[in-house]
Copies of this chain bind each other. A is one copy, B any other.
Amino acid sequence: MGATKTDHFTERQNQLATLAKAIAHPARIAILDYLIKVDSCICGDIVNELPLAQATISQHLKELKNAGLIKGDIEGNAICYCIDENTWKRFQDILNALFDDYTPKTQSCC
């Protein structure tokens, strides 16, 4: 096997899993950190910021894009990346809902 059985779970569970997987790698978090830090669309200087080969970073960018967390526009011979506000917000909402649902119990068996 090795393939996740997505059809057995709810839409929300699958969505959250997909978004979480997108940030489940330090390099992709570093990319998002940088996108947030520079506070503007960046045109491909991520390669100089991270200790990874260009091909590897391009792949990570692709995964972030597939998950919808970032988007990119062509700008000359460079590409301009920035955070996708909508997906970002949805991600935040789903997580907030999850965290809100949990209330620490006073009487815990473990």
Contact = CB atoms under 8 A, between A and B. Distances in A.
A92 interface: yes
Contacts of A105: 39-40, 82
A32 interface: yes
19 contacts: A4-B26, A5-B51, A5-B52, A6-B26, A9-B30, A10-B30, A16-B23, A16-B29, A17-B26, A20-B20, A21-B24, A33-B98, A72-B110, A82-B109, A82-B110, A83-B102, A85-B104, A88-B99, A92-B99
Interface in A67-110: 71-73, 75, 80-83, 85, 88, 92, 95, 98-99, 101-105, 108-110
Given A39-B105, A40-B105, A8 B51 contact: yes
| Chain multiplicity (copies) | 2
Interface residues of A, number: 52
